[in-house]
Amino acid sequence: MPPAMELPIDVLGEIFVVCVTNEQRTRRETAIQCEGCKPLRIPSVLAQVCRQWRCAALSTPSMWRFIHLDLKTSCQVALRKEQFSKLFQRHVGLSGSCPLELSFANLGSDEGFNTVMNIIGTENNVAKRVKRLEIGLAGAAFLPFLSILQRAVTPNLEDLVLYHTGYFTPHESIPPEALIAFEKTPLKRLSLGRIQWCTMDVSLSGITSLSIDLGHEHEAILLRTLTSFPNLVELTLQCTDNFKVLDSWEPIPAATLPALERISFDPRICHYSLHKLDAPKLTYITARNFSRLSPRFLAYLPNQTAYTTLRIERFTPEDDWRFKQSGKSHWNYKSLEELRVEWTSSFTAGVPGFLACLKNHPEILTLELVECSIDSEYMHNLTTDASLLPKLTELRLSKCPNICPRVLDTIASERRSLSVFVTL
């Protein structure tokens, strides 16, 4: 008998929860980047393997708390309405009393709006259990979507994700009255992709985590936007589009976020000046999707005496090399990947740029590298150059397969006070 068949039912259930959660995390990241995503299928698949696995799946309510509905065109929704209803009721029933995480993709038809309103637009036990709500718009669906926000009855909502899967237009911004209903909810996290947050007097002081799209705005409006969230702890600035943004012509206002501790950004932020953002508690920096680094790496962020943690995600120097080999002489703004390379084209390429960035920030205590395609050459100087991150106490690597374990062992032996953590 295979070892997996000998596991107790409760252990199998915990393993299933991890599998479903990881699939949901991947789907969620894809959706926020406004890319196509597949529906959740793991719960149903696991329940069909054998009698033991089915028993484990059906007796583990938390693995059924994720409910994802892909709402296509009106005719497709009409044809699948009964199927949607059965799927939804099945997940709700199997999830027991667990808080629900609902996601709706391609919301654009009248039938789709009716489906969503029947779930979160009326006072019922399901709406009261919704902890996370994700809505992806398709086509010219923005005005009806605003009515959903105004009429939603989700008193326990903590996490709201809104994104548009089509092309952005300047008219699609959220007016102040759209989210007034959420002032009375425990809403803590808000994510906006290809959707503007217009200047408003409404203050959502309960929100501590904000993710906002920079593909269509400039820094003056961005800083005015942040005044609506005075108690932010975590701020994510991303770009999901390849629009060429015009330079700001408005004066950049000052903004204060006294509780902000973490900020994440992609190469697009290198064209924004956030030095007027006052964030005295800011210590944790995350940089994503860079192909080059340099001493000016953090120059556009709020002025700070010390950043204690630097996290670099998906650092891919080979993207810069691929573009050079393509022989292109100008940028056509059709590829976001190519545009990310251009945004940092003035930075120093390869290992020299990486080392120059680290030397410019000797105050760093923790360095985290996640899903980076760099090799051991990038890390070798940590063993030979004592002036490189002299205060470093933790080095964390996750999914960086090109870095040789022997180099990491050498770093740990040379720097006695350094702890190295590696996650495959």
DSSP 293: B
Residue 280 lies in a domain: yes
Does residue 170 surpass a pLDDT of 50? no
Phi, psi (5° rounding) for residue 259? -100, 0
- The CA distance from 315 to 318, in Å, is 9
* Listed residue (390, 420, 392, 388) closest to 407, CA to CA: 420
Average pLDDT over residues 168-191: 66
pLDDT at 333 over 70: no
Residue 288 has pLDDT above 80, yes or no: yes
Residues with Cβ < 8 Å from 77, sequence gap 6 or more?
A: 71, 84, 109, 111, 112, 115
- Model pLDDT, residue 62: 86
Report if pTM > 0.85. Answer: no
239 domain residue, yes or no: yes
CB 194 within 8 A of CB 34: yes
* Bigger pLDDT: 159 vs 112: 159
269 within some domain: yes
DSSP state string for 244-256: -PPPP-SPPPPEE
| 3-state SS assignment for residue 324 | helix
The better pLDDT of the pair 414, 112 is held by: 414
Segment among 9-23, 24-38, 157-171, 226-240 with least mean pLDDT: 24-38
Domain that holds residue 365: 217-424
pLDDT tens-digit series, residues 110-147: 777 777 877 776 667 788 888 898 888 776 666 667 67
Q: How confident is the model at residue 370 (pLDDT cuts 50, 70, 90)?
A: very high
Cα angle for residues 231, 215, 337 (degrees, 5° grid)? 120
- In-domain check, residue 183: no
Beta pairing partners, 67: 102
Question: For residue 55, what is the enclosing H or E element?
Answer: helix 51-58
Compute CA distances 94 → 11, 43, 91, 124, 391, whole Å. Answer: 18, 11, 5, 17, 51
Closest CA to 226 of 177, 277, 157, 182: 277
Q: Is residue 360 part of a domain?
A: yes
- E strand or H helix at 15: helix 9-32
pLDDT value at position 309?
93
| pLDDT at residue 180, rounded to an integer | 64
Assigned domain for 100 exists? no
Name the pLDDT band for 246 (thresholds 50, 70, 90).
Answer: very low
Query: Are 337 and 280 contacting, i.e. CB atoms less than 8 angstroms apart?
Result: no
Q: Element (H or E) spanning 161, and its range?
A: strand 159-164
Specify the length of the chain in residues: 424
Tokens (6 digits) for 317 = 């120097």
Domain assignment of residue 252, yes or no = yes
Residue 54 above 50 pLDDT?
yes
- Tell me, yes or no, whether 311 lies in a domain: yes
- Domains in the chain: how many in total? 1
Residue 411 is part of a domain; what is its CATH number? Answer: 3.80.10
